[in-house]
Structure 1
Amino acid sequence: MAERDESRDAEVGDGVHKNLGSKKVSWTTLAAGRTDSLNLEAGRFSRSHSHNSKTSWGRTMSLAFQSIGVIYGDIGTSPLYVYSSTFPDGIKHKDDILGVLSLIIYTIILLPMLKYIFIVLWANDEGDGGTFALYSKICRYAKVSLTPNQQPEDRELSNYRLETPSKQLQRAAKIKEKLEKSKIAKQILFLVTILGTSMVMGDGVLTPSISVLSAVEGINSLSENADVWISIAILIVLFSVQRFGTDKVGFTFAPIVSVWFLFISGIGLYNLFKYEIKVLRAFDPRYIIDYFKRNGKRGWISLGGVLLCITGTEAMFADLGHFNVRAVQISFSTMVFPAILAAYIGQGAYLTRYPGDVSNTFYASIPGKIYWPTFVVAVAAAVIASQAMISGAFAIISQSLSLGCFPRVKVIHTSAKYEGQVYIPEINYILMIACVVVTFAFKTTTKIGNAYGIAVVFVMVITTCMVTLIMLMIWKTKIWKIILFVIIFGLIELLYLSSVLYKFKQGGYLPLAFALILMTIMGIWHYVHTKRYMYEVQHKVSTDSMKNIVNSPNINRVPGIGLLYSELVHGIPPIFPHFVNSIPSIHSVLVFVSVKSLPISKVASEERFMFRQIEPRENMMFRCVVRYGYNDVNEPPTQFERHLVENLIDFIRQGHLMLNAVTTEDGDQTTSIQHSTLFATDFGRGRGSVNSAVHVEELQQENRTLGVSSESMNADNLALPLREAEEVRFVQNALDEGVVYLLGETKVIAKQESSLLNKIVVNYVYDFLRKNFRQGEEVMAVPHSRLLRVGMTYEV
């Protein structure tokens, strides 16, 4: 039934658009177009630009500089621990240094530079990156979302594009068709997405631990336990100041990290020329082959340490929404890439002379005169690296909330300049506790590195898989290029993955345990969220039932505007009759508000609200869809109410402009207008009548003042302007009376005939999560003095 309604909506909308230019439009067709005007309302908005809009070179260079401080702290601090993690038992053969250095060089060239900078960055979703962005991009081109996300009105958004595959590209069409028809494929795609995001969350725990601990280890006089306790103290301070937001220290990030890159590149070049310039032979890939021949299984195991040279690579893509593709490409190519290469080459040159210092390579290779300045900058860079991943973890949870994949938490936007910068108190303290526990339990960067590698390479493999799907279905890339992409990057990442999984017992289990816990929470919440949504779709109130409820003599209309919230986009939610039965009254203006999260990054403000009139018109009841992207900021209640009413009035006026245009074309319109009903203004009872003759006289007097002849103005011609004025005045008066929020407290339980597993998941696990996280009114910051809640039980 819902699908038929949506189809009819689209047909009616298109029909009205076409008929407005013709000479005849019947009142029935126009009324249908007016009341089912969600598509019209969406279509009339202007096209807004996205993150991908052209940016001036000056602005791009400024963003490139800022990105140095936000994105590259993690990959920039990797030289602190890569060699020590690769050679935990010391260097057995001098040429092993060249082999490992060659591995580091080509790993950085192939994965961060070639794969991410030149390919993956272009797979962004309207300028935003990360695993959720890849998933949302795929969902917009194929109906693979587990919850309905492609209603007709969504396709009209300026940054919500659906592309119909051409006949010449049958491959893309076949893949899309198979995905849409396979429920298993949809579930796998969703599970892969939440696995990737869970692994990035694991990075949010491991990055602060390994970065801070590796920096503090530079104090040689401290014992191991002292390093751990100092690191824990720094971590506690770091998480305690998160509530102030990264924007408070914004522009200090880039200069500090830039100084760090200058330090490590300068030290690297100094060591290269002082100790052994011949290490540049490592650019010959044959040293990699010799390394594996010489070390065999031990060389394969050491790949887990080499992998750490590209930690933080995913941040270049995940944090893309703060900048743009060109800015990230410029900053990495001109600053980061040469600096970290110089650092690793310099450390390799130092180790050829002092192989016994491999456990503390970075600090041992620093010239004595600049040791302490380098140490201070290293600690600052490590903190910044931690900050970037913590902020990324907040952003991921925020995206998960928007897609119905995580229990409600309080999201605080800490920056007006960077919309993606958010702070989530609950997640912040969970991460802090996890970081402290990891640091205390593992104590050394080598052990944490075993866990860290799995999280890094898992996300890379998932990104490769999803980008391959995008190349097949959306970009429609030539097949030989796709095969080349999969063979080169897929095989390299699988090789690294096999190596880090070998260290599962030595700490590799940790990110997998994190991921399992997060996936369980996200999967269960999304499963019940989907069931709840489908229940509302199947039990929505019919048109006849709605008329009977509203016209019942036992129902009173009270002054003001009532906003009844529901997740149902099409139709009246089943909670409404329950409200009326519990409290037999309806506000003079009632708006059924559906806050809909779309799988796109942002919705333009002028496209946020969409309205539909609920007939009969004199009841002043509307349906409103409020659309948000996963990176949009929720407005405060007062601002939200003002914008909603402004858009409602605009909707009313646009409808009357359309009616006026049609009236001038259709001579038969007069009879229909004469039978239309003007609205009540008796706010004490909410119903009444209006003396239209008085208003006709007032409008005629106004037109005589303006020089318009009274002969050209009769009651029939004035009906529409009067109707518009009455509706607008009615809504404004209702706003003056106050806005009340109506929230349904729905409890979801499993059906009696459900399986035991389903009952445990729905009745206990989901219910536990719902009770122990924030409620709806807390997330939306609804004023308690204007909140009315009614409970109802859904059996799913």
Structure 2
Amino acid sequence: MAERVEASSVPEGENTIEEREVGAMWELEQKLDQPMDEEANKLNNMYREKGLSMLMLLRLSFQSLGIVYGDLGTSPLYVFYNTFPDGIDDSEDVIGALSLIIYSLLLIPLIKYVFIVCKANDNGQGGTLAIYSLLCRHAKVKLIPNQHRSDEDLTTYSRTVSAEGSFAAKTKKWLEGKEWRKRALLVVVLLGTCMMIGDGILTPAISGKASLLFFFLRLTKKDDNSLQNHLLTVLSATGGIKVNNPKMSGDIVVLVAIVILIGLFSMQHYGTDKVGWLFAPIVLIWFLFIGATGMYNICKYDTSVLKAFSPTYIYLYFKRRGRDGWISLGGILLSITGTEALYADIAYFPLLAIQLAFTFFVFPCLLLAYCGQAAYLVNHKEHYQDAFYASIPDSVYWPMFIVATGAAIVGSQATISGTYSIVKQAVAHGCFPRVKIVHTSKKFLGQIYCPDINWILMLGCIAVTASFKKQSQIGNAYGTAVVLVMLVTTLLMVLIMLLVWHCHWILVLIFTFLSFFVELSYFSAVIFKIDEGGWVPLIIAAISLLVMSVWHYATVKKYEFEMHSKVSMSWILGLGPSLGLVRVPGIGLVYTELASGVPHIFSHFITNLPAIHSVVVFVCVKYLPVYTVPEEERFLVKRIGPKTFRMFRCVARYGYKDLHKKDDDFENKLLTKLSSFIRIETMMEPTSNSSTYSSTYSVNHTQDSTVDLIHNNNNHNHNNNMDMFSSMVDYTVSTLDTIVSAESLHNTVSFSQDNTVEEEETDELEFLKTCKESGVVHIMGNTVVKARTGSWLPKKIAIDYVYAFLAKICRANSVILHVPHETLLNVGQVFYV
């Protein structure tokens, strides 16, 4: 009988254990090592979106204004200045720029995002990592191989199957065929994520909160046209210098702007829930103001600007301006900034509510605002730097000024909060160092605060504000970040349309061509402005990508090492009932990355300290490519080995939206689930008095009997209970079959009618209760990861220096899981990968 002997590490390039070993003991071990089957009854309709009344849809559409459209709505503050930073030579150039803005809004936010991309959501979750989760469910592209078929039974784990031989199936096969393709896909996803982080740094700088500063500047009323060359974009929201430009040192402007930014980020820990009720009314009034002002300016100054709805003026614009017109696309691009945030924020509201709000309210108001500014600029070309405030009628100037400031705050807040959510998703995917995540709302789980990320964003925003003196410089940086996010989204959407939606290749080609034509045009324009601020998001993305790539690479290598060095079940069985150890009272929760098998930390622990708790539970906290895991399906429990071993495995499954909170009561929930498992398992015990190793079970007969019971009962609730019971029968039989010899199998199963089962159940549950009262200890690995001898230099730098530094400064697993310090036991170990 062949045995599997596992080393503490397996050199790269060797075959897997399954490929090296065959035999009865190997088959036994595989059965004992498998993750547990699903024993929870699936609530298949619980998380399905329910129909909403029209009144509710209108209410949600109103609320979406404050969360989703703040960033997009504040773009009119700075678009024309960034399009014409050196002034306007010809009035027809304004018409051409307006035509570009109109069709950019039509093609990108309205058609592409609102009606196409937003449909590619993961149960309402948006963003590049949500798309990646969808792709991971439909193709085997995840680099951490910790998934199991039981995960597919989750109510939130939905996917479609491609027809054999179809273009989608061929694409799936091609994507899964090479490891480098999976890595390339992950790099693309991470690039989009890094650009969104850069967006979180640049948005506060370009939307601004300097109301008091500009209020003071306006009151000084001293002439100095050169001030416009020193204005930071952080002040664009409140850049209310209409006629009188004060004289003020650029250094003072920078200093006051930094103070305001510090105040903004210092208030983040209060959370958006505290001021959330103000968001929607502010943005509603903002859109009404800019729409009404735009209509007023069209009627007052020049109605002929409406001819810009003809795409002919786009052609004339480029023909007249040539290369300068092409470069000006970098400014036009700012009219659609915030669109990428729109997709990331769709988790807050139903898709239909977002579509209604944008199509019938936001889009028309934005068109009126841009047309009104264009009408004003046609007659006042000298006001190209402050076109927005200069075009406001005197009678509503100060109210508009106040609302603009509030709208800019909302827009920046939405982007900052979106950055927190993106980082949370990245942590769940193993692509970002562990950071502290705090809930700021008892009602909305999606509203979170990351203090570590908050201060990093603040420092980055201050650095950008202090470094750039011109509005156009930060505008160029902002535009570069936005267009790269859009390009990444387009690439991922091609795969979604093929693998998930199974669209015809012609439709995919049309979408790809139109999206790339527009976005690559913008990208080619921002390339010309790399040296004028466009390099900023590239530096931010490069640093973020380095951090995320190294962390994910080390995470994968750690998992592979644990897989190769896990303890052989044949060795565990050979230890005997007491595992050859002193069993002390209490429960030991041994945390591991493995969803199957006994981890290396266990053998390392008992080798150095030959004693272990009376009950041992191997706990695997696993993140799945779904947005959330229902609480009813959180824990899966399985017994390891015979009952006398008193060893169990528990897999705690989370989605990338789920969070560990202090009030989760994780420990009690886990032990409650363990008690339920013991109770149901004991109900399945045979009447035979033989030992555990010779229990009698029959899979087929048990299943048939259960089916008969279900068909003979018309009660719906009873049927649901029997479905769960059937699942438990399959589970228990599968588990206990692994330790049953072939000679002991029979064709019947009988349930005990005497008190034997109840006594046995009571005994084990009482033993578990006694152990819990003795104390629960959380055993976690304090792991140091090092590059193995002979590794190439880049790997040594990445593992021994970059990853070591990140691991040192990031939050410990015990902190993330809120493990009580007084019950924590760290086991030191070194992994050479």
TM-score (normalised: structure 2) = 0.84
* Aligned with residue 39 of structure 1, among 30, 37, 47: 37
Greater Cα offset, 203-212 or 377-386 = 377-386
Shift of 1:228: 3.3
Shift of 1:225: 4.4
* Aligned with residue 503 of structure 2, among 471, 477, 481: 477
Aligned amino acid, residue 613 of structure 2: H
* 1:248 partner SS: coil
Q: Which residue pairs with 1:161 in the alignment?
A: 158
Greater Cα offset, 480-489 or 218-227 = 218-227
- Kept in 2: contact 1:267–1:366 (CA 8 A): yes
Shift of 1:322: 1.4
Aligned amino acid, residue 367 of structure 2: L
Q: Which residue pairs with 1:18 in the alignment?
A: none
* Aligned with residue 450 of structure 1, among 465, 476, 482: 476
- Aligned counterparts of 2:17 and 2:52: Cα–Cα separation in 1: 43
- Kept in 2: contact 1:157–1:607 (CA 8 A): yes
Q: Which residue pairs with 2:608 in the alignment?
A: 582
- Kept in 2: contact 1:36–1:612 (CA 8 A): no
* Aligned with residue 414 of structure 1, among 440, 444, 448: 440
Q: Which residue pairs with 1:218 in the alignment?
A: 240
> How far does the alpha carbon of each residue in 1:402-428 deviate from its partner, in whole angstroms, 9 at most, with x for none?
111111111112122221221111111
Shift of 1:730: 2.2
Aligned amino acid, residue 538 of structure 1: H
- Kept in 1: contact 2:34–2:597 (CA 8 A): no
Relative to structure 1, is the Cα distance of residues 99 and 618 closer, same or farther in structure 2, using a 3 angstrom cutoff? same
Relative to structure 1, is the Cα distance of residues 614 and 292 closer, same or farther in structure 2, using a 3 angstrom cutoff? same
* Aligned with residue 306 of structure 2, among 260, 265, 280: 280
- Kept in 1: contact 2:784–2:829 (CA 8 A): yes
Q: Which residue pairs with 1:682 in the alignment?
A: none
Relative to structure 1, is the Cα distance of residues 350 and 569 closer, same or farther in structure 2, using a 3 angstrom cutoff? same
Which structure shows the bigger proportion of residues in helix conformation? 1
Q: Which residue pairs with 1:180 in the alignment?
A: 176
* 2:755 partner SS: helix
Q: Which residue pairs with 2:598 in the alignment?
A: 572
- Aligned counterparts of 1:768 and 1:642: Cα–Cα separation in 2: 35
Corresponding position: 1:151 with 2:148: yes
Structure 2 counterparts to residues 194-273 of structure 1, below 5 A: 194-212=190-208, 213-219=235-241, 220-221=245-246, 223=248, 224-273=250-299
Structure 2 counterparts to residues 664-679 of structure 1, below 5 A: 669=688, 671=690
Structure 2 counterparts to residues 544-693 of structure 1, below 5 A: 544-549=570-575, 551=577, 555-636=581-662, 639-657=665-683, 659=684, 663=686, 669=688, 671=690
> How far does the alpha carbon of each residue in 1:311-338 deviate from its partner, in whole angstroms, 9 at most, with x for none?
0001111111111211111111122111
- Kept in 2: contact 1:179–1:186 (CA 8 A): yes
- Kept in 2: contact 1:673–1:716 (CA 8 A): no
Shift of 1:127: 1.2
- Kept in 2: contact 1:39–1:156 (CA 8 A): no
Relative to structure 1, is the Cα distance of residues 234 and 674 closer, same or farther in structure 2, using a 3 angstrom cutoff? closer
> How far does the alpha carbon of each residue in 1:126-176 deviate from its partner, in whole angstroms, 9 at most, with x for none?
210000001111011000111114312211111113433123x61111110
- Kept in 1: contact 2:135–2:496 (CA 8 A): yes
Structure 2 counterparts to residues 367-382 of structure 1, below 5 A: 367-382=393-408
- Kept in 2: contact 1:540–1:573 (CA 8 A): yes
* 1:359 partner SS: coil
- Aligned counterparts of 1:165 and 1:35: Cα–Cα separation in 2: 31
Greater Cα offset, 648-657 or 313-322 = 648-657
> How far does the alpha carbon of each residue in 1:273-292 deviate from its partner, in whole angstroms, 9 at most, with x for none?
11111111110110000000
What is the Cα-based RMSD across aligned positions, in Å? 2.5
Q: Which residue pairs with 1:366 in the alignment?
A: 392
Corresponding position: 1:776 with 2:813: yes
- Kept in 1: contact 2:35–2:595 (CA 8 A): no
Shift of 1:34: 9.8
- Aligned counterparts of 1:638 and 1:282: Cα–Cα separation in 2: 57
Greater Cα offset, 48-57 or 185-194 = 48-57
Shift of 1:37: 7.1
Shift of 1:579: 1.2
* 2:95 partner SS: helix
- Kept in 1: contact 2:623–2:656 (CA 8 A): yes
> How far does the alpha carbon of each residue in 1:20-43 deviate from its partner, in whole angstroms, 9 at most, with x for none?
xxxxxxxx99x999996711325x
- Aligned counterparts of 1:347 and 1:434: Cα–Cα separation in 2: 32
- Aligned counterparts of 2:694 and 2:564: Cα–Cα separation in 1: 35
- Aligned counterparts of 1:331 and 1:53: Cα–Cα separation in 2: 20
* Aligned with residue 744 of structure 1, among 781, 784, 789: 781
- Kept in 2: contact 1:611–1:622 (CA 8 A): yes
Q: What are the ranges of 5 or more consecutive residues in structure 1 without an aligned counterpart? A: 9-27, 678-712
Q: Which residue pairs with 2:231 in the alignment?
A: none
- Aligned counterparts of 1:649 and 1:4: Cα–Cα separation in 2: 34
- Kept in 1: contact 2:35–2:148 (CA 8 A): no
Greater Cα offset, 631-640 or 498-507 = 631-640
Corresponding position: 1:391 with 2:417: yes
- Kept in 2: contact 1:588–1:734 (CA 8 A): yes
- Aligned counterparts of 1:511 and 1:629: Cα–Cα separation in 2: 29
* Aligned with residue 546 of structure 2, among 520, 529, 533: 520
- Aligned counterparts of 2:236 and 2:797: Cα–Cα separation in 1: 44
* 2:585 partner SS: strand
Aligned amino acid, residue 86 of structure 1: T
Shift of 1:83: 0.2
Q: Which residue pairs with 1:705 in the alignment?
A: none
* 2:665 partner SS: helix
Q: Which residue pairs with 1:79 in the alignment?
A: 76
Corresponding position: 1:106 with 2:112: no
* 1:599 partner SS: coil
Structure 2 counterparts to residues 255-334 of structure 1, below 5 A: 255-334=281-360
Corresponding position: 1:66 with 2:92: no
- Aligned counterparts of 2:527 and 2:751: Cα–Cα separation in 1: 83
Shift of 1:775: 1.5
Shift of 1:5: 8.1
Greater Cα offset, 552-561 or 485-494 = 552-561
Q: Which residue pairs with 1:15 in the alignment?
A: none
Shift of 1:541: 0.7
Shift of 1:642: 1.4
Corresponding position: 1:507 with 2:533: yes
Quick one: percent identity of the two aligned structures?
Answer: 46
Structure 2 counterparts to residues 91-130 of structure 1, below 5 A: 91-130=88-127
Aligned amino acid, residue 177 of structure 1: K
Shift of 1:233: 2.2
* 2:37 partner SS: helix
Greater Cα offset, 715-724 or 504-513 = 715-724
Q: Which residue pairs with 1:352 in the alignment?
A: 378
> How far does the alpha carbon of each residue in 1:658-707 deviate from its partner, in whole angstroms, 9 at most, with x for none?
x16xx5xxxx8565679779xxxxxxxxxxxxxxxxxxxxxxxxxxxxxx
Shift of 1:636: 2.3
Shift of 1:353: 1.2
Aligned amino acid, residue 600 of structure 1: V
Q: Which residue pairs with 1:726 in the alignment?
A: 763
Aligned amino acid, residue 41 of structure 1: E
- Kept in 2: contact 1:51–1:127 (CA 8 A): no
Q: Which residue pairs with 1:700 in the alignment?
A: none
- Kept in 1: contact 2:293–2:369 (CA 8 A): yes
Corresponding position: 1:89 with 2:86: yes
- Aligned counterparts of 2:599 and 2:771: Cα–Cα separation in 1: 23
- Aligned counterparts of 1:499 and 1:355: Cα–Cα separation in 2: 24
Relative to structure 1, is the Cα distance of residues 557 and 738 closer, same or farther in structure 2, using a 3 angstrom cutoff? same
- Aligned counterparts of 2:752 and 2:90: Cα–Cα separation in 1: 100
Aligned amino acid, residue 38 of structure 1: M
